[in-house]
Amino acid sequence: MLISRSHHFYFLKAKKCAGTTIECVLGQLCQGPEDICTSFGVVEQIDKQFRVGSVQINSEFHEHSNYKDIKNLDIFNLIPIIAIRHPYEIVASSCAWHVHQDINTIEDVKEYQDLGYVPKKTDEYLRYSFETMFGRKCLPYWKNKRNRHERFRQYEFYGDALYDPDLITIRFDNLQNDLSDLCNHFHIDQHIPHAKKSHIFNYKECKRIFTKDQLNQIYEYFKNSFIYWGWER
């Protein structure tokens, strides 16, 4: 999450929408005394190489702070910047990413193996991972973090920022062009890093990977996002 009073914008970072890449680009504009730049979280040591300038990290807010978290910070004269992505792709990307983010200890590995889980990025793995993270086989690890799922639901996450007439929206399926336009808007360097590199899922690929029941669960969970942005099912 970024707030730049010096450049009159704030950026809300929903999960799995190229948020870290966007944050790397815009973070260089958050060097004023009243600006806020949050940590990259668990991968900060990996991705800090993409930071530009001497950014002061603010620990008061989470990297995925939503609109409700910051609405009382006098942001109404700032331009909101958000990123959106097809919900099928968000879920698939999350399932694939967390294989190496959330299995960090021997205990984690044992818990997964006891359930017959083998961490391989196959279609079968993604379907199983969906059940452990979002579905009916949700592991105790994730049950303790259910609030984290709210960071995936774009419509709810962005809240009233969506209705700001000056809203800038970056589409994942047009990322390079939208980021290039953003760089031109703020007159900053066009170098755009690809932070947190992983397989990029297409929503049509996701329709093949997930079962019909899982796709229906995704639709119900992201229903407001599907309706608001007109995502294809």
Helix (H, G, I), strand (E, B) or coil at 38: strand
Q: Domain-by-domain residue ranges, the chain?
A: 2-86+151-186, 87-149+200-229
Alpha carbons 3 and 54: distance in angstroms, whole number:
15
pTM of this structure: 0.82
Q: Which residues have a Cβ under 8 Å from the Cβ of 85 and sit 6 or more positions away?
A: 16, 17, 18, 154, 171, 172, 173
Q: Across the chain, what does the average pLDDT equal?
A: 80
CA 143, distance to chain mean position in Å, is 20
How confident is the model over 3-24, as pLDDT tens digits?
999 999 999 999 899 888 898 8
User: What is the H or E stretch that residue 99 is in?
Assistant: helix 87-101
Alpha carbons 202 and 205: distance in angstroms, whole number:
5
How confident is the model over 165-201, as pLDDT tens digits?
999 999 999 999 999 999 999 998 776 666 665 677 8
Of 210, 212, 211, the C-alpha closest to 90 is: 210
